[in-house]
Amino acid sequence: MKDRPTVLIVDDEIKNIELEKGYLESYNYEILTALNGEEALKVLSTNDVDIILLDVMMPGRNGFAVTKYLKSHEKTRLIPIILVTALTEKSERVKGIEAGCDDFVSKPVDSSELVARVRSLVKVKAYNDHMRNYERELENEVDKRTRELNAALKMIEETAIETIHRLAAAAECRDQYTGSHILRVSRYAEVTARKMDLNSGFVKAILYAAPMHDVGKMAIPDKVLMKPGKLNNKEWEVMQQHTTIGAKILHGSDQDYMKMAEEIALTHHEKWNGTGYPQGLAGEQIPLSGRIVAVADVFDALISERPYKPALPIRESFTIIKNERGTHFDPSVVDAFIGMKQEILSILEQYKDNV
C-alpha cells in the first residue's frame, strides 16, 4: 500500500505545472509531471497514478484525445481525470465528458477548488482500487477453492474406481482370472465407445461400469466356476445365472455408471443373432453397453491363458472377432473395436498379466 496518493500533472506550460504542484504538495501528494500527452503515457506506463490533472490545449495529442485513450484501456480506465482548461464553451465541456473525463477545473486555477476536487476523486480512486483488489482476491479464492474441490472430487472418484476394481477382482479371482483382465476389458470398452463417437458421459460411465460385468460370479459354486473341463448342461445352467445375479447385486443405484453396470452384467453374454443368454435378446434389443463389453470380454478371454485352454495369438483373436461380426457381435461395435487396434495393443502392453 502506498504512503500517499500520486498525482500526475500534464501541461505544456511549466508555470502551470509549478502552480498546481505548489497547491498540492502541502497536502502530502506525490507529484509527477509531463509536458504533453505522449510524455504522460510514458509516465503512466511505469508509475501507479491515482489522479491526473490534464491540460486540454496541448500540442500533439490534446487533453480530449489523451482522456479518450486512457479511458479505453483496462490499465488506466479507472484513473480519475480532471481536465484543466480555459475553455468555457458548453460544447467543449460536453466533448470532455464524452471523452470520459471525471471533472473540470477552470483556468486560472483556484487552489481551494483544485484541492477539493482532487481530494474527492482520490477517495473515489481508492474505493475503486479497494473493490478491484477485493474482486481479484475473491476470484483467486474461488479459483483456489475450485482447485481444492476438483482435487477432492478426483480423489473420491479414484477411490470409487479402486473400490469397483477390487470388488470386481474378487469375483474374477474366484474364476482364476487376473485383476488385469477387468482393467483391460474396461479400457477396451472405453476406447471402443470413443471410436463410436458416443458422448463423453457414456464413455466415462462404461469405463467405470465394465469392470463389474462378472460380479455375479461371486455367487457361483466353486465346483462349477473352477471346473477345468467342459461344463455339463446342468452346470452350464448354473453358470449362466451369474448374469442375473450380477444385475441383482448392482440394482437400485441412482448413479448412471451403476445403472450401466447393471445392464452390462445382465446382457454382456447376449448375442447379436439372438442365441445368447440369459434373455435371448437380439440386435438393438441388447443395450449398447452390453454389446460393447461383449466384444471386449470375448477378445480378452481369447488372448488369455486359462486352466481349461491356452491363450490364442493376438492376430487370430482379432480374426475371430471379425468373423463373429453380425452373428455374435454388433457389426458397428466390431468395426469400432478393430478401428482402435493400435490402442487395444497398447492397453494389452500396459496391463499385462502378472504371472
pLDDT on residue 71? 92
Among the ranges given (166-170, 231-235, 255-259, 299-303), the one the predictor scored with the smallest mean pLDDT = 166-170
Q: For residue range 318-343, what is the model confidence (pLDDT) as tens digits?
A: 999 999 999 999 999 999 999 999 99
Distance CA(334)–CA(347), nearest Å, equals 17
CA dihedral 165, 166, 172, 173 (to 10 degrees): 150
Place of cell 482522456: 67
User: For the structural domain made of 175-350, what CATH number should be given?
Assistant: 1.10.3210.10
Residue 95 pLDDT greater than 90, yes or no: no
- What is the pTM (predicted TM-score) of this model? 0.59
Which candidate, 30, 26, 9, 27, places its Cα nearest to that of 18? 9
Distance CA(24)–CA(98), nearest Å, equals 27
Higher pLDDT, 197 or 92: 197
Higher pLDDT, 102 or 192: 192
Distance CA(205)–CA(201), nearest Å, equals 6
pLDDT on residue 230? 85
pLDDT on residue 96? 86
Residues in the chain: 355
pLDDT on residue 355? 44
Residue 315 pLDDT greater than 50, yes or no: yes
Backbone Cα Rg of the chain: 38
pLDDT on residue 50? 93
Q: For residue range 138-185, what is the model confidence (pLDDT) as tens digits?
A: 888 888 887 877 777 666 566 666 666 666 665 555 555 555 888 899
- Name the average pLDDT for the chain: 88
pLDDT on residue 192? 98
Percent of the residues in the chain that have a pLDDT greater than 90, as a whole number: 54
For residue 354, the number of C-alpha atoms closer than 13 Å in the C-beta half-sphere is 4
What is the separation of C-alpha 101 from the centre of its chain, rounded to a whole number of angstroms? Answer: 42
pLDDT on residue 293? 97
Q: For residue range 243-254, what is the model confidence (pLDDT) as tens digits?
A: 999 999 888 888
Region 227-235 average pLDDT:
87
Distance CA(202)–CA(68), nearest Å, equals 53
Q: For residue range 25-64, what is the model confidence (pLDDT) as tens digits?
A: 888 899 999 999 999 999 999 999 999 999 988 888 888 9
pLDDT on residue 70? 93
The residue type of 123 is: K
Region 53-78 average pLDDT:
90
HEC string for the chain:
CCCCCEEEEECCCHHHHHHHHHHHHCCCCEEEEECCHHHHHHHHHHCCCCEEEEECCCCCCCHHHHHHHHHCCCCCCCCCEEEEECCCCHHHHHHHHHHCCCEEEECCCCHHHHHHHHHHHHHHHHHHHHHHHHHHHHHHHHHHHHHHHHHHHHHHHHHHHHHHHHHHHHHHHHCCCCHHHHHHHHHHHHHHHHHCCCCHHHHHHHHHHHHHCCHHHHHCCHHHHCCCCCCCHHHHHHHHHHHHHHHHHHCCCCCHHHHHHHHHHHHCCCCCCCCCCCCCCCHHHCCHHHHHHHHHHHHHHHHCCECCECCCCHHHHHHHHHHCECCCECHHHHHHHHHCHHHHHHHHHHCCCCC
Per-residue confidence at 297, pLDDT binned at 50, 70, 90? very high
Give the CATH fold of the 6-141 domain.
Rossmann fold (3.40.50)
For the chain, which residues make up each domain, given as ranges?
6-141, 175-350
